[in-house]
Structure 1
Amino acid sequence: MIRVVSVENMRKSDARTIEGGIPGRELMLRAGRGVFNSAEWKPPVAILCGSGNNAGDGYVIALLLHKARIPCELILLSEKFSEDGAYYFAQCREAGIPVRQWESGMDLSSYGTIADCLFGTGFRGEVRGPAREAIEAVNNSSATVIAVDINSGLNGDCGLADLCVHSDLTVSIGDFKTGHFLNMAKDVMRQKVNIDIGIEPVDRTFSLVEETDLAELFGPRKNYSNKGTYGYTALIGGSKRYSGAIRLAGLANAAMRSGAGVVKLAVPDVLFPIVAPAVLESTVSPLKDDGDGIVFSEKETTELISNVRTAAFGMGIGTGKGAADMLEYLLDHFTGRLIVDADGLTLLSRMDKNRIRNAACTLILTPHVKEFSRLTGLSVNEILNSPVAAAEAYAKEQKVILLLKGPATIITDGETTYITDTGCAGMATAGSGDVLSGILAAVLGYAPDPLLGTAAAAWVNGKAGELAQEKYGAVGMVASDTIACVADVIKSIK
């Protein structure tokens, strides 16, 4: 796991470190040295500096470039300096490093590398004035752009920006912040690394999931095992109007490719002739219907879940009375792990929250932002501007595991929070969420820890999507292409 922190946590941790005896000047030196060592510097180098400690890191970088005889120049947007920044700026002056003031219309096209030291992680709001002009000039240049700590203009907690620097490399300092992964982050950072400068967090942290964290879960299987060892899974969904979610996305295939022992595909009887010919390794359980969607039967549902460890409910099932009654029954009587997605989330949003909080099962919810808005009553903007806090608050209050979909995925039970950074633009296509539900249902059939198992499924789903995009491109790939890559991803985990 890679440690991830909030901006406030980093601010307090930085202050505590200084109080503990490591001078801010020393931390600034470590930061500048770390950035210098992390990048390749094509001369000449322009270092754009604002007024805070982020600018101070830039002054250290300039000194190191000068010492390495790499031509560089400081471009200042402000003549205000932090105390530690002023110390290193004075050294730059003494060393004879060229210094220029930013001028409107300045052309940055002659530089080989630009270091972005305008704003740090504490920046909020809209970029205005000379800083806006400077960021636009950076983005219009052909230089290699190195962003120090975070891309100037980008919110360090939520990864949103009105305007921000687009970087070839972002060098995070101390620890990654959530804004390095969420919302717009992938679109504005080509690569990112973190450098440790000796700051220990004082508050609770989050964890970015790495491939090595999943090795034990997807490790070698014993010969002395059988299909029951890896779990019976039920995938419940589909309606005459929405047959694709349970069929086209290949949920049963995704679940089997993800290691499920046995998969039952439970669909309205009207879909049986369509689904059955495509099912080989799995089984089909027809459910009573009214010619469109399911009609709830307690006897059928009891038989369906009698021997399953996990069930995924909601993919294309509709929001009629039959589906609602079935979901209520599952919440009250199923004691395994229940994944609720798509239409199931809409049904949940109409229920008394006490029913969710008091569910007999381990409940895993997989909303995208709009679905989460319906569940919580928060606006989409409120969620986007504070996704981790919103996810944690809901998960803790409702006693669920929440998987909040996005360019990076947030997985939390309200106490422990994981982030997965796999996935790609090509997954913004119909059926991608249904594929995730199939993978999730499989993995939770044999994962000892349901929270880590949920994070593992999200990681695998995103990585499989990346492989599919490599093959078909972001425009041409479809959800079933992701399914085709699942087995390769799991096989490659070391």
Structure 2
Amino acid sequence: MRPLLSSTQMKDLDNRAIKDFGLPSRLLMETAGKACAEIIANHYPKQLAGPVCVFCGSGNNGGDGFVIARWLANWGCEINIIRVGKGSSSPETTDNLELCRKLGIPIIEVSSSKNLSLAQSFLENSSIVVDAIFGIGFKGDLKPWLDELFELINSYSPLTVSVDIPSGLNADTGFGLNPIYAEGTITMDSMKIGHVTGIGREACGELHVVDIGIPSYMHENLETVLLFEEEDFRPPLRLANRHKNDYGRVFVFGGIPGFTGAAAMAAHAALRAGCGYAYVVHRKELAAVYALKLTEAMSRAIPENTKTGRPDAKALLRLVDGASAVLIGPGLGQDDFALQLLKIMLRDLKAPLVVDADAITLISENPALYKYLSKPNVLLTPHWGEFARLAKIGKDEILQDCLGVLRAFVKEHSTRVLLKSHYSVYHDSDQTLVNISGNDGLATGGSGDVLAGIICSFLAQNESIPSAAIKASFLLGKTAETLAKTRCTPSILPTDIIASLFLKHNEII
């Protein structure tokens, strides 16, 4: 898996390379800037035939921009530098600015709203724009005149390439109120968390990583967030001499009238993902519905106490005694019957338990259930809205710092969470894993039910909770990407995903 560094970790690597290894800071800047210039030259040769506008801040990101400008000028490009702001600069940034002056590269100063019309005129006449204003150290809000400048760049730049990270984007969270949106981003040494979280993927465009000479051993033992990639995916092991009992039994609690499809899809997805058996455990009045809905999956009625009409805990636990994994939540309902079911499963079940959808909402409304979240068999799979209710926070807090609020919740409750959105994050006390596969074809009701079924299937086939969660998330997203090659994404249905899991033409097979 690919490490995603925080801004602090990257700065520490830089400092260690300079102080401990002896790499001069100016050499690091030269290596970084030249590598960026080479990528720009290789990927955007047509744009380099016209004027190039390089926006440089006063920090070391601006220093990289000056190096880029110098190399592109040496290769015959027409360069204009717009120096943004009046902040103090490091010696190496100042030195590279002076080298640009010696080459006769035009340098325009922009430090307030008064100069923005000049910046706009250069933007309108440029074929490509290099954004080297702010690097990974940026946090907080932009000054009003910088807001205006960034709006001009986003409006008038024909193609923007950002250095390290789009200016205005937080490298640790991927959040920014008005960042620069680039067609391409060239980052130093390693990907950063903000490249893939928040609005990072949208703002960064195509991402390139350049080696700037920091020794590989310095990356060892870093406690990093990890990006799950295609080469990391391995389906659960299957052998020719095994039989269905070796691949586990998945039990899915069925829904209330009008929501029976959720459990049916989850059970079907579990079978497609390789489990040996799938059962839908349903309210007794829905027996006929599930008899018609289910073919490969089996159904069982929830045992009830004849006096109270509530679930019979002892009989229910005997029913699921052979479960390899249990799913509760999709279409479950939020009445007292559902609450009692959930309480029994959280309190008494020993097998892996995936808690999704309505079950998460029930927990958020019943504080006495939070104490069960620390049990080692429990995995929560909320989307942002469900997690906001669970963590008692606003969705805007998740947008601004997804990892921060997730870490705080997991620490408070000693639990495990797969937080779902246009990117998904698995976090427990030991690790943070990110998946970015998928597309808008998954923005359809039922996709989460399919994911929960796949997770349970992988758990039933002896995958650990972290492995099952992140692999299932990746498989769901990758299958949607494969489907998008043959149909428009708005037409992708959860049942299409189920039918296409592990098809031979999928790229991950």
Query: Is the TM-score greater than 0.5?
Result: yes
Distance change in 2, residues 1:429/1:261 (3 Å): same
Q: Is 1:150–2:158 an aligned residue pair?
A: no
Kept in 1: contact 2:363–2:370 (CA 8 A): no
**One of 83, 97, 101 as aligned partner of 2:91:** 83
Deviation at 1:352, TM superposition (A): 2.6
**One of 180, 186, 195 as aligned partner of 2:195:** 180
Structure 1 partner of 2:228: 209
Deviation at 1:177, TM superposition (A): 1.5
Structure 2 partner of 1:98: 106
Deviation at 1:64, TM superposition (A): 1.6
Q: Is 1:238–2:250 an aligned residue pair?
A: no
The residue identity in structure 1 corresponding to 2:29 is M
**One of 65, 72, 78 as aligned partner of 1:71:** 78
The residue identity in structure 1 corresponding to 2:34 is R
Kept in 1: contact 2:174–2:198 (CA 8 A): yes
SS in 2 for 1:444: helix
Deviation at 1:383, TM superposition (A): 2.9
Structure 1 partner of 2:211: 196
Q: Distance in 1 between matches of 2:385 and 2:146?
A: 33
Kept in 2: contact 1:151–1:165 (CA 8 A): yes
Kept in 1: contact 2:53–2:80 (CA 8 A): yes
Structure 2 partner of 1:419: 434
- Residues 384-423 of structure 1 correspond to what in structure 2 (within 5 A)? 384-423=399-438
SS in 2 for 1:335: coil
Deviation at 1:8, TM superposition (A): 2.3
Residues 65-85 of structure 1: CA deviation (Å, up to 9, x unaligned): 122222222111234433221
Paired residue total: 486
Q: Distance in 1 between matches of 2:487 and 2:272?
A: 20
Kept in 2: contact 1:295–1:323 (CA 8 A): no
Distance change in 2, residues 1:383/1:22 (3 Å): same
SS in 2 for 1:207: strand
Kept in 2: contact 1:218–1:490 (CA 8 A): no
Deviation at 1:467, TM superposition (A): 2.9
Q: Is 1:309–2:301 an aligned residue pair?
A: no
Deviation at 1:237, TM superposition (A): 2.9
Deviation at 1:436, TM superposition (A): 1.0
Distance change in 2, residues 1:270/1:111 (3 Å): farther
SS in 2 for 1:352: helix
Deviation at 1:142, TM superposition (A): 5.4
Structure 1 partner of 2:18: 18
Deviation at 1:357, TM superposition (A): 4.3
Deviation at 1:225, TM superposition (A): 0.6
Kept in 1: contact 2:198–2:402 (CA 8 A): no
SS in 2 for 1:47: strand
Q: Mind listing any 5+ residue stretches in structure 1 that lack a counterpart? A: none
Q: Distance in 1 between matches of 2:492 and 2:275?
A: 25
Structure 2 partner of 1:337: 352
Q: Is 1:37–2:38 an aligned residue pair?
A: yes
Q: Distance in 2 between matches of 1:358 and 1:382?
A: 24
Deviates more, 1:482-491 or 1:202-211: 482-491
The residue identity in structure 2 corresponding to 1:37 is E
Kept in 2: contact 1:407–1:424 (CA 8 A): yes
Kept in 2: contact 1:183–1:406 (CA 8 A): no
Kept in 1: contact 2:304–2:312 (CA 8 A): no
The residue identity in structure 2 corresponding to 1:5 is L
Kept in 2: contact 1:460–1:490 (CA 8 A): no
The residue identity in structure 1 corresponding to 2:30 is L
The residue identity in structure 2 corresponding to 1:213 is D
Q: Mind listing any 5+ residue stretches in structure 2 that lack a counterpart? A: none
SS in 1 for 2:134: coil
- Residues 111-190 of structure 1 correspond to what in structure 2 (within 5 A)? 111-141=126-156, 143-190=158-205
Structure 2 partner of 1:285: 300
Distance change in 2, residues 1:266/1:124 (3 Å): same
- Residues 365-384 of structure 1 correspond to what in structure 2 (within 5 A)? 365-384=380-399
What RMSD, in angstroms, separates the aligned Cα atoms of the two structures?
2.4
Q: Is 1:355–2:356 an aligned residue pair?
A: no
Deviates more, 1:94-103 or 1:417-426: 94-103
Kept in 2: contact 1:240–1:270 (CA 8 A): no
The residue identity in structure 2 corresponding to 1:35 is C
Kept in 2: contact 1:158–1:385 (CA 8 A): yes
**One of 287, 294, 313 as aligned partner of 1:298:** 313
